[in-house]
Every structure is written in C-alpha cells, then in structure tokens.
Amino acid sequence: MNFWQLYGEAAKTAAGFFWKAGWAFILGYFVSAMIQAFVPKKRLTPYMGDGDFKSISLATLFGAASSSCSFAALAAARSLVMKGAHFIAAVAFMFASTNLVIELGILILIFLGWQFLAAELVGGLVLIAISSLIIKMTYPQQWIDAAREHLDEQEGEEEDFNWRERIKSRKGWNLVGHKFVMDWQMVWEEILIGFTIAGFVAVFVPPWLWEKIFLQGYENVLPAWLIAVENAVVAPFVAGLTFIGSMGNIPLATVLNANGVLFAGIMGFIYSDLMVPPLVMINAKYYGWRMALYIAGVMFVSIVATALLLHILFSLLGITPESAKAVEEAAQFKFDYTFYMNIFFVLLAGVLARLHHNHKKEMSAEMDHDMGGGIDAKRVGALVFLCVLLVGIAAFFITGGK
C-alpha cells in the first residue's frame, strides 16, 4: 500500500477503536457520575489521616469511585493531601482511580479479554500494597512537609448531603448529568489522542520494532525470566513516550498484545499511565520536583514488581493470556451487539446532557465550575489529532479502502 492507503487504514483502525469502545465509555462514566453524585465522600476524608490499613482501604474505595481521568486523579490526590490525608493514602487513591474504576475495566474486557481484566483488578490492589510498603520504608518526612507547604492553593470544601434524599430528587439526577458531562470534558482529549495514536501505531510501526524493544526471538538465547523482567522494566518507558493517560492507552496495549509482547510487559504498560511526562510535571507543580520524582520512582518500582508478580501468578495458575489477539478483532465494524449498545447509550448520553443543562440552569454562574473551558496545550493537541483523523478517514474512502 502507498502512504495514503496506509494513512486511511490507520484512521479506520482508530475509528474502529472508538466504535468498539463507545458504549463502554458512556456506561462507565454514567456509573461514575452516579457514584460521585450520591456517595458523600466528604465523610471519608477525615479517616485517611494515617498510613494504616484503614486509611489505605478507604483511599482505595474512594479512588475506585472516582473518575478515571489521570489528570483529575492528581488534582483529587492533591486535594486529599491538603485536607490532611496521609501521603500513602493519597498515592493509593491515585492508583485506584486510574486502575480500579468501572469504565477502565469494561474497556479492558472488550479489547483484551477477561484475563487482563482479572489481572487489572488483582494487580491494582497489589500495586497499592507494594507502593504503600515502599513509602513506609522510605518515608521522606521532610520532603513531604515541604510538599505540603508547596500546596498554597486552597480548594473549596465539598458539600455534605443526605444521599437518600438526593437520589430521590430531580436535582440529584440533574447533578448526575452534570458530573457525566464534566467527566467527558476532562477526558475527551486524552481519549481522542490515545485512540488515534493507537490506530496509527498499529499500521505504521513495523512488527520488528516491537520485537527488538521487547526481546522477541531471544527465547533460545536468554532465560525466560530475564525476558519477562526486561518487558516489565521497558514497558513504563514505552508508556511514557506515548504521553497517553489511563483510558487512552488500552487500544495501544491491544497493539502490543497483537505483536507478541509478554503479559508482564502489557500489564506494566497499562499501569504506567500516571508516569507519562505531563503528569510528572503536574506533580512537580503541586509538590515540587523532588517529591514528583520520588512519586515517579515509587510508582516505577511498584509497577515493575506488580507486573512480574502477576506474570508469575497467572503462569502458575495456567491462565496467562496468549499475546495474539489481532487488532482487527478489536477495531471491527459490523452489525453486532456493539451497534445496538452504541445506539442505546448515545440516547442515554443525550438524556444526561439534558440533565446537565437543567443543572446549569439551577446553579448560578459563579457556582458552576466548568472544568472543560478554555484552550490549553492538551486541547490544541486533541484538535490537531481530530483533524489528522478526519483527513485519514477521507483518505480511506478516496483510496477505496475496505
């Protein structure tokens, strides 16, 4: 194929990823919006002041009930630290809110299968346990005290409420619509960028490059355990080069899976969404560079250890997934359940958008905080990728792609 045919095929693959995941995104963020609207989280934060099992457990539950947006996870973790939560609990929250949320689980199930979903859930808890132990053993008290002083911006207090009354009220469901739209305004850029990159990587990056990066073909030269360690260690760096957050990197994980990357490497890649350079820079803005690099170091060691433990555990249980699921299977267009699910959930999204509109009418302009407003570098990048995708789709039809 010539360049324009490849370009069109890449855009079609990216669009196929969107098509396959559309209903899952809407379902996931609908459930997330209900949790955010009806779970009084303010009552949980006072119990996170210690680095004990109780605080870590609450932070994990709190994170799992939050949005999967990586950027939002950092902002919420900062808010917890400002309100007195222990640093260990804040890190547990970050891992849980990007690895244990329902929308990410649905996406992994669709693109990678049940073994990867099981690994994501079990590994998410292992990841939190390992990072908590590392922080306890290396706890830099002076650095953390300095980081708290660095947090000079104060956020408004979350309201307290009676969830039983709210869930029965029209105002409560208007708030669900509002939370749903706010979540989409936070994540649509990284989803668009991530899915587009995945489509183009699937078509343009030759298989031999993945083979070189992840030591494929060296099975007769190197021991299997060493190749697994290399895969787990290299995967976070590959994730860092993509600049993609938690929801956007699942299609690219599918590409790695289709190219034979080991289970340890794929899980290491999925867990590394909080280590991409933009997020490290945000942590540096919040806590200073010393703490940001410390957090990244803790995450890297925890991710590699967790990926290897999962690799060993699943191998012993005989349920290690085969690295062979073709990208075409995850990016196909056909009249199956996906078609009908997309129609239903698009209609649901329309209803939720209407509830969001009702919420905006109820709230004064001063109180309605639109997190999706303004133009920043990420939004400009997303618009550029949207243009790239649209041009590619046009190329696909012009060149007579199938």
Per-residue pLDDT 10s for the chain (402 aa) are 788 899 998 898 888 888 887 887 788 778 778 877 887 766 666 777 788 888 899 889 888 877 656 766 777 787 777 777 888 998 998 888 888 888 788 888 888 888 999 999 999 999 999 999 999 999 888 887 777 776 654 444 556 677 788 888 999 999 999 988 987 887 788 778 878 888 888 889 888 898 899 998 888 888 989 999 999 999 999 888 776 666 667 888 888 888 888 999 999 999 988 887 877 887 887 788 888 899 999 999 999 999 999 999 999 999 888 765 556 565 566 667 788 888 998 999 999 999 999 998 887 644 544 444 455 677 888 889 899 999 999 988 888 776
Count up the domains in the chain and report the number: 1
Q: How many CA atoms lie within 13 A of 331 on its CB side?
A: 26
pLDDT at position 365: 45
377-182-380 Cα angle (round to 5)? 15
Distance separating alpha carbons of residues 306 and 88, to the nearest angstrom: 17
Burial of residue 386, with CB atoms counted within 10 A of its CB: 0-12 exposed, 13-18 middle, 19 or more buried:
middle
Are the CB atoms for 104 and 246 separated by under 8 Å? yes
Question: Is 334 exposed, middle or buried (CB count within 10 Å of its CB: 0-12, 13-18, 19+)?
Answer: exposed
3-state SS class at 245? coil
Phi, psi of 309 (to 5 degrees): -60, -40
pLDDT at position 139 is: 84
Domain that holds residue 156: 3-398
The pair of structure tokens assigned to 234 is 């290299």
Closest residue by Cα to residue 85 from 168, 28, 147, 5? 147
Q: How many angstroms separate the first and last alpha carbons of the chain? A: 12
Q: What is the rounded CA–CA span in Å between residue 231 and residue 166?
A: 48
> Cα angle vertex 171, ends 169, 177, to 5°?
115
Q: How far is CA 116 from CA 21, 84, 168, 320, in A?
A: 16, 35, 37, 9
pLDDT of residue 7: 92
- Residue 40 tokens read as 């009084």
The pLDDT, as a whole number, for residue 67 is 63
Residue type for position 95? F
What whole-number distance in Å separates Cα of residue 8 and Cα of residue 346? 26
Residue 287 is classified by DSSP as: H
**pTM for this model (two decimals):** 0.76
